[in-house]
Structure formats: structure tokens, C-alpha cells
């Protein structure tokens, strides 16, 4: 589930998810979801960086293969920062903890911060 969250968040932060976007669909319960096939159809007019980020987001959401060697090399610093945060989120780093010990032994777990935080909006 973290990978799906990361892909959607990546698209939101690159402003590819917005009201009336043709790839944002709604269920009868008025819940939004991304139609990945429609997203793929419509991203041809975007810049190269936007297309790269979208392909990485699609890979996180659907498991479709992406060549990171090709995709990462063409990203500017802003997009690369978003992709790093997405990968850290997909890996669950925001939910990880480590054991804490004291003289008497095990004390409990301490939550760790995300390995790479999402940049501020």
C-alpha cells in the first residue's frame, strides 16, 4: 500500500492530480482514484521531466517496470527530491522504528523519522 500512496503523492506534488484531470476518476461513494491507462494516454504533451516523474509514479502505483537509469538522469533537483521522498515512503521508512535498550535490558521501540522527508509544499 505504501507504494500506491507514494505514487499518488508524487503525482499530487508535481501537480498532475487536479480537479477535472481526465485521469482522476470517482467512485459512486465520491472517492477519487487515478486511472493509470488514461494518465499514460495524456502525458505525451508534458515536459520530459514531468513524463519521467509520471512514469516513476505509475511504476510505484501499478508495478509496471521503469528504467531508473534512464528516468533519473533527466530529472532536475526538484523532481529528484520528490522521487527520493516517494521511494523512501514506498519502502515504509516513515513507519520504521528501532529497539531501545537501557541498563536493565530492552526498553521498547523508538520511532524513526522518514529516511527522506517529502519536501514542503
| pLDDT at 121 > cutoff 90 | no
Torsion of CA 50, 52, 56, 57, to 10 degrees: 20
For residues 33-43, average pLDDT: 93
Q: Is 106 helix (H, G, I), strand (E, B) or coil?
A: strand
Concatenating the DSSP letter of every residue in 14-74 gives: TT---TT-TTEEE-TTS-EEE-HHHHHHHGGGS-HHHHHHHHHHHHHHH-----HHHHHHT
**What is the structure's pLDDT at 18?**
84
Q: Find where cell 516517494 sits.
A: 86
**pLDDT, position 46:** 92
What tens digit of pLDDT does each residue of 44-100 get? 989 999 999 999 999 999 999 999 999 999 999 999 999 999 999 999 999 999 999
Query: Following DSSP, what letter does each residue of 67-103 receive, concatenated?
Result: -HHHHHHT--HHHHHHHHHHHHHHTTGGG-EEEEEET
Q: Of 13, 9, 5, 32, which is closest to residue 78 (Cα–Cα)?
A: 13
Percentage of the residues of the chain whose pLDDT score is greater than 70: 100
Amino acid at each position: 500500500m505504501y507504494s500506491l500512496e507514494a505514487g499518488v503523492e508524487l503525482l499530487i506534488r508535481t501537480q498532475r492530480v487536479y480537479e477535472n484531470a481526465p485521469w482522476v476518476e470517482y467512485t459512486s461513494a465520491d472517492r477519487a482514484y487515478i486511472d493509470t491507462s488514461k494518465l499514460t494516454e495524456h502525458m505525451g504533451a508534458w515536459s520530459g521531466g514531468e513524463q519521467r516523474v509520471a512514469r516513476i509514479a505509475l511504476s510505484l502505483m501499478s508495478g509496471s517496470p521503469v528504467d531508473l537509469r534512464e528516468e533519473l538522469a533527466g530529472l532536475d533537483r526538484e523532481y529528484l527530491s520528490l522521487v527520493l521522498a516517494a521511494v523512501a515512503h514506498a519502502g515504509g521508512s516513515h513507519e520504521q522504528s528501532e529497539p531501545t535498550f537501557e541498563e536493565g535490558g530492552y526498553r521498547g521501540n523508538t520511532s524513526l523519522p522518514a529516511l527522506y522527508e517529502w519536501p514542503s509544499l
